[in-house]
Amino acid sequence: MSRLVLVLGDQLALSLSSLKAADKARDRVLIVEVAEEATYVRHHKKKIAFLFSAMRHFAEELRGLGWTVDYVKLDDPANTGSFTGEVARAVAAHRPDSVLVTEAGEWRVAQMFAGWEAQFGLPVEVLPDTRFVCPLPVFREWAEGRKALRMEYFYREMRRRTGLLMEGDKPAGGEWNYDAENRKAAAPDLFMPRPPVFAPDAITKEVMALVAARFDNHFGDLEPFQFAVTRADAEAAFAAFVKRALPRFGDYQDAMLEGEPFLYHAVIAQYLNCGLLDPLEVCRAVEAEWQAGRVPLNAAEGFIRQIIGWREYVRGIYWLTAPGYERRNFFEHTRPLPAFYWTAETDMACVRAAVTQTRQHAYAHHIQRLMVTGTFALLAGIDPHELHEWYLSVYADAYEWVELPNTVGMSQFADGGMLASKPYAASGAYINRMSNHCGTCRYDVKQRTGANACPFNPLYWDFIARHRSKIGGNPRMAQMVRTYDKFADAEKARIATSAAAVLAKL
């Protein structure tokens, strides 16, 4: 009895459930580069190059361990361009008794899997993805009957489940969450560690040439290419973060600085999300640093919360709400995505910085995504589905299961509050507090209206005015509605005029 074991590009882990269940002496592994996956949105050039190179290196790693691996490159003349087509070719060539896969990370791929038994006329076994801390049935059980699915309460369950940062049945330090200690603004003279860079080897150079030729019309800079593409290099990147940046990560994880795209961030999400790093292993390593006294608790807790809290939580939300979540639009926003999300050609220094580094690195940290590009889109009334497709396209760590709830739920409040307790609407004052962008911006962050006012300011108050009926009952927004109501009619008119002028330029 032989099986065909399909391994996807975001499943590059030796601990993958399908590989664990397979027999390397009898079964055949199939890994494929397909045009359908590279183009269903116009992915960043670096993202495509990173994944194809990591896939090719993983195939070599498996071969070195004794597996038989069929690897189909994108430019193979026989490549059909889809998972279904390539599995069909492999089934016809090798006549396996069954197909074995680990469950897909995205709904559309899971739907492909669901149709294969009938199409190929042989059993297709889909195993759970055990790389995640919270199995999907456990998340559904946690969510059952809850009026509000708040991450904080889910996170506490994950702390108990894993034992991370626990002292018996109590959280280490007496508090579950040290987010209040994670909001310091970084001074420009701080020493900024840089993530390690990895020179492209022959495999990566071949992939880069392929991407340059086939995807030259996609967003982003292909060079310089500095990502890790092997497990060993991804582990080295994480180790460098732990040594150089983790001690100050807790303090400055929300900060933004001109010319500093990485600050104290780990920049490892792309490695976690494709399987080169294990989420529980990195959390235990961070916990060990705190236990050894080398990092403060707020840094360890802040990092671990992002992994076993937020990352696991948004995956659960994605599968709980699929399909259809991507079309939710609570505020009925329909404005097209502005061109400067692709070009960075805007006078808003914060947006320009976020988009520029996104183009260069296929990376921006969570506050740039949430409170700069996300908040501007929310205030301007951008169609949340267009924004979702932009985020999915431009970041190396973006897969629909993690990106969609972050965009539709957290950033745009398009689910009406299922995920977030309030819309993440903010004026320029937040950006001024957490960054030095405003000091170099042509707009005045202290002006509420007028041609020189920071566009976030009139848009913020215009957002409050437009949606007061939908947000007035929200306990965390009601005060701002009352504040707007106290403005003089002339000030309200100036806000409306200034907001309209900003929107007209989009």
Q: How far is the C-alpha of 315 from the C-alpha of 278, rounded, in Å?
A: 16
Q: Which CATH architecture has domain 136-193+245-321?
A: Alpha Horseshoe (1.25)
Residue with tokens 């993440």: 424
Between the alpha carbon of residue 463 and those of residues 338, 378, 428, the distances in Å are: 17, 8, 14
pLDDT at 191: 62
Residue with tokens 């065909």: 4
Q: Where are the alpha helices (DSSP H) in 443-488?
A: 456-466, 468-471, 478-486
Q: How far is the C-alpha of 315 from the C-alpha of 139, rounded, in Å?
A: 9
Q: Where are the alpha helices (DSSP H) in 181-328?
A: 202-214, 231-244, 246-252, 269-274, 279-291, 297-304, 312-321
pLDDT at 67: 98
CA proximity to 1, closest of 115, 116, 94: 94
Q: How far is the C-alpha of 454 from the C-alpha of 433, rounded, in Å?
A: 14
Report the chain's C-alpha Rg in angstroms. 24
User: What is the full per-residue pLDDT of the chain (506 aa) written as tens digits?
Assistant: 899 999 999 999 999 999 999 999 999 999 999 999 999 999 999 999 999 999 999 999 999 999 999 999 999 999 999 999 999 999 999 999 999 999 999 999 999 999 999 999 999 999 999 999 999 999 999 999 998 899 999 999 999 999 999 999 999 999 999 887 777 776 766 667 889 999 999 999 999 999 999 999 999 999 999 999 999 999 999 999 999 999 999 888 899 999 999 999 999 999 999 999 999 999 999 999 999 999 999 999 999 999 999 999 999 999 999 999 999 999 999 999 999 999 999 999 999 999 999 999 999 999 999 999 999 999 999 999 999 999 999 999 999 999 999 999 999 999 999 999 999 999 999 999 999 999 999 999 999 999 999 999 999 999 999 999 999 999 999 999 999 999 999 999 999 999 999 999 99
pLDDT at 371: 97
pLDDT at 170: 97
Rounded (10°) angle between helices 136-143 and 312-321: 80
Q: How many helices (H) and strands (E) does the chain have?
A: 26, 7
* Region(s) of the chain under CATH 3.40.50.620: 3-127
What are 15's two structure tokens?
């601990």
pLDDT at 184: 78
Please spell the DSSP secondary structure of 269-290, one letter per residue.
Answer: HHHHHHTSS-HHHHHHHHHHHH
pLDDT at 190: 62
Show Cβ contacts of residue 27 under 8 Å, excluding neighbours closer than 6 positions: 2, 3, 4, 5, 68, 96, 100
CATH number of 3-127: 3.40.50.620
The one-letter amino acid at 200: P
Fold of 340-505: DNA Cyclobutane Dipyrimidine Photolyase, subunit A; domain 3 (1.10.579)
pLDDT at 179: 80
Q: How far is the C-alpha of 477 from the C-alpha of 456, rounded, in Å?
A: 17
pLDDT at 189: 62
* Region(s) of the chain under CATH 1.10.579.10: 340-505
CA proximity to 164, closest of 280, 299, 277, 253: 280
Contact 467, 430 (CB under 8 A): no
pLDDT at 192: 72
